[in-house]
Structure 1
């Protein structure tokens, strides 16, 4: 087995770990550490905590979050389509148009049934 083939992978992993760990280590070593009671107190969006941390959230919060993730991920599928637009030909163009129409129909449906309303 030739281990020279794995050297780029090993370097990639080591550089990835270094990029993730070294800034945190430098921040911990070089950053100021002056705790006081105000910094160590619990807060909620700038206010004092007024309920238990295990309080229930409204279902609409999760629904909006899931819809955002869903539509955000679907939009990212458009990037490869646009990059390869000249190479995919007419069939690829129409497949992309069908995907966009499906995305728009789903968005309009979510809007019409009130899934995006917060009230």
Structure 2
């Protein structure tokens, strides 16, 4: 028990020292307006370098990723139906699909699934 405590203390000390050193080394120098602006052949930029991003498109992409991950969780459950207890399997699968449907209803009710407003 003493060895584990000693090793944990040494590991914590080494990690803390490395984090402090990296924090000190990564200090950025003073940034002025000229250094932060984009360079266009020595002239001031004609337009903003940032392109407008559609927040609605981002929400649709996040919803797609969430449901895509949930599908990847459902596929192994389908493959393990032969080796699992049917009652437990049915409860877990029903609860999982219920959570998916509640989430889908919530997104639909909030209007996140409407492409145009």
Counterpart selection for 2:67 from 50, 71, 95? 71
- Partner residue of 1:98? 95
Deviation at 1:54, TM superposition (A): 2.9
For the residue of structure 2 that corresponds to 1:107, the secondary structure is helix
8 Å contact from structure 1 (residues 110, 116) kept in 2: yes
Note the residue ranges of structure 1 that are not aligned, 5 or more in a row: 1-50
State the TM-score, normalizing by the size of structure 2.
0.54
Query: C-alpha deviations, 1:77-119, integer Å up to 9, x for none?
Result: 1101100012111112211110011101101110111011121
Q: Where do 1:1-119 residues align within 5 Å?
A: 54-89=50-85, 90-119=87-116
**Retained in 2: the 8 A contact 1:85–1:93?**
no
Superposed structure 1 runs of 4+ greater than 6 Å apart:
none
Alpha-carbon RMSD across the aligned residues, in angstroms, is 1.7
Larger Rg: 2
TM-score by length of 1: 0.53
Offset at 1:72? 1.0
